[in-house]
Amino acid sequence: MMKNNLKNKTKMRVTKYLLFPTLLVITMLMINSCETDETQTVTTLTNLVMADEFDTEGAPDSSLWTYDIGRGPNGDGWGNQELQFYTDNSENVRIENGFLLITAKEETIDGALYTSARLKTQGIFEQQYGRFEARIRMPYGKGLWPAFWLLGNDCDVNEWPLCGEIDIMEYLGDRPTTIFGSVHGPGYSAGQSEGKPYSLTNGRFDTGFHVFGIEWGPNYINYYVDGDLYNQITPDDVEGEWVFDHPFYIIINMAVGGLLPGSPDEDTEFPQTMVVDYVRVYQ
């Protein structure tokens, strides 16, 4: 399987750097058919300020990434009743053949029934505004909950949701054609978050790579899949204070179980892997 992935990636290496300069043209075409607010903002952000292409074998680059370890600060499954124990073990997180692999395994550690990994740039790379994107292939199976998201860098002082959360992409493993993007803040968090799903009309998110991104500026966050602008969130859309005006850091993780996806069932096979081709941030 990895040989095929590597072959596909080699082709992408030639072309993917050519996609971004044409983003403005593509996005303007998409806006005409996008069911979003007419105040849509389209920008061209070409200043690459952070990128990880995952081209070095082994552990993720420690100058960019660190880890959350365990079952959450309160041992409660990170506030979501998740079932995994996050580790920094190579079986759960490693770089191989130019991809970051985050793997969920069925094994018991410290009372948890599964292991997985959660990477973050907290204290290393944090940015206010810009374009954040990643190219990812999803796993498949009920109870799997991969995500690519941002958390306010003041979360140690202003507890969630006061610090703000920007979910660039969340995915439920038994719904392979749909992802969703949302924001959480004071007055609009958890089940009351503001967001929107995006569904593929052809294909599935677990059978191919797709680019998930946002463009974030003062008073707006635009959501994209493969250059398709599918939602915009502004202060007028939320039922509370807009808290997206300070630096945020990046998190990439795969949870197992929890309030949103429910538990794995007898048809969920393990191990399951979230495959990340790259992460890039522009200003």
List, as one string, the DSSP characters of the chain: -HHHHHHHHHHHHHHHHHHGGGHHHHHHHHHTT--S-TT--------EEEEE---SSBS--TTT-EE--BS-TTSSIIIII--EEE---TTTEEEETTEEEEEEEEEEETTEEEEE-EEE-TTT-EESSEEEEEEEE---STTEEEEEEEEETTTTTS-TTTT-EEEEEEE-TT-TTEEEEEEEBTTB-GGG-EEEEEE-SSS-TTSS-EEEEEEEETTEEEEEETTEEEEEE-GGGSSS----SS-EEEEEEEEES-TTT----TT--S-EEEEEEEEEEE-
**Which among 38, 96, 126, 165 is annotated as catalytic?**
165
End-to-end CA distance of the chain: 35
| pLDDT, position 45 | 82
| pLDDT, position 46 | 85
170 is catalytic: yes
For residue 262, what are its two tokens?
């429910």
| pLDDT, position 168 | 98
- Separation between Cα atoms, residue 24 and residue 186, nearest integer Å: 33
Task: Give the phi and the psi of residue 89 in degrees, each rounded to 5.
Answer: -70, 150
**Which among 82, 133, 170, 215 is annotated as catalytic?**
170
For residue 272, what are its two tokens?
């399951």
82 is catalytic: no
- Separation between Cα atoms, residue 51 and residue 280, nearest integer Å: 4
With CA atoms as reference, report the closest residue to 160 among 262, 251, 261.
251
Adjacent-strand bridge partners of 259? none
With CA atoms as reference, report the closest residue to 63 among 145, 125, 126.
125
| pLDDT, position 44 | 65
Regions of the chain short of the pLDDT cut 50 = 1-42
Q: How many other CB atoms sit within 10 Å of the CB of residue 142?
A: 17
Question: Considering the domain 2-282 in this protein, what is its CATH number?
Answer: 2.60.120.200
| pLDDT, position 4 | 39
Residue 102 burial class via C-beta count within 10 angstroms: exposed 0-12, middle 13-18, buried 19 and up: buried
Tokens 């392979």, residue? 176
Q: What is the CA radius of gyration of the chain?
A: 18
Instruction: List, in order, residues 6 or more apart from 201 with CB less than 8 Å away.
Output: none
